Amino acid sequence: MAKRILVVEDNDLNRKLFCDVLKSQGFAVEPVADGLEALAKAREFVPNLMIMDIQLPNVSGLDLIEAAKADKDLRAIPVLAVTAYAGKGDEERIRDAGADSYLAKPVSITPFMNAVKALL
């Protein structure tokens, strides 16, 4: 059975790219554009990995990661954080929130897939 990956990304092009690349590698993918839907979708889809954009409208990806890690049903799911805003201290703040790995945008396919496979 294919590993399931939840992709939380508000940018249409990035979301499509991540999903297309993951599907081409045999993963079952569930895209989520709105961070407010992310945790409910995670409970429904039960992913093996969550890919989480940090800059989301309505709710921060950091807040979503912290909420997922505080949830008994979701805390074991690894999180790959992806953000365009990679400033000094950002990686530490993202990891402190509970992310298991971190990539800065723009994301290249090979490092992206290496990060995904390392977490699965």
Would you give per-residue pLDDT tens digits along the chain (120 residues)?
899 999 999 999 999 999 999 999 999 999 999 999 999 999 999 999 999 999 998 999 999 999 999 999 999 999 999 988 767 788 899 999 999 999 999 999 999 999 999 999
The pLDDT of residue 89 is 84
The pLDDT of residue 15 is 97
Retrieve residue 109's tokens.
């396919």
Which of 69, 65, 47, 68 minimizes the C-alpha distance to 56?
65
What's the CA gap between 45 and 4, in Å, rounded?
8
Where are the chain's structural domains?
37-48+61-88
pLDDT in tens, 42-57: 999 999 999 999 999 8
In three-state form (DSSP H/G/I as H, E/B as E, the rest C), the secondary structure along the chain is CCCEEEEECCCHHHHHHHHHHHHHCCCEEEEECCHHHHHHHHHHHCCCEEEEECCCCCCCHHHHHHHHHHCCCCCCCCEEEEECCCCCCHHHHHHHHCCCEEEECCCCHHHHHHHHHHHC
Q: Are strands 79-83 and 49-53 parallel, antiparallel or unpaired?
A: parallel
The pLDDT of residue 64 is 97
**pTM of the entire structure?**
0.96
